């Protein structure tokens, strides 16, 4: 790597909106995030599944006339 062209890479404090903090490395000293692994629904088990039922049928109905032509 070339000398003098890279930014300083040092420890950074990450602060979540829920109040959780942890330390990582970055070029910025403090990073504010909206969601972290402590409050994200996927990691907490409170994830709601989006019902995608009917999307394929809707697609087939929409393009059924095009396929027959």
Q: How far apart are CA 12 and CA 29, in angstroms?
A: 5
1-20, pLDDT tens digit by residue? Answer: 688 898 889 999 999 988 89
Looking up residue 62, the CATH number of its domain turns out to be 4.10.80.400
DSSP state of 50: P
10-48, pLDDT tens digit by residue? Answer: 999 999 988 899 999 999 999 999 888 888 777 667 766
Position 69 pLDDT exceeds 80: no
First vs last Cα of the chain: how many Å apart?
60
Q: How far apart are CA 32 and CA 20, in angstroms?
A: 10
Q: What is the pLDDT averaged over residues 52-67?
A: 76
Domain annotation covers residue 3: no
User: pLDDT-derived band of residue 62, with 50, 70 and 90 as boundaries?
Assistant: confident
Domain annotation covers residue 5: no
Number of folded domains that form the chain:
1
């Amino acid at each position: 790597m070339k000398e003098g062209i890279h930014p300083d890479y040092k420890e950074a404090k990450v602060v979540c909106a829920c109040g959780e903090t942890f330390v990582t490395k970055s070029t910025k000293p403090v990073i504010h995030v909206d969601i972290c692994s402590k409050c994200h629904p996927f990691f907490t088990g409170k994830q709601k599944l989006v019902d995608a039922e009917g999307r394929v049928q809707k697609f087939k109905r929409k393009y059924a006339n095009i396929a027959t032509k």
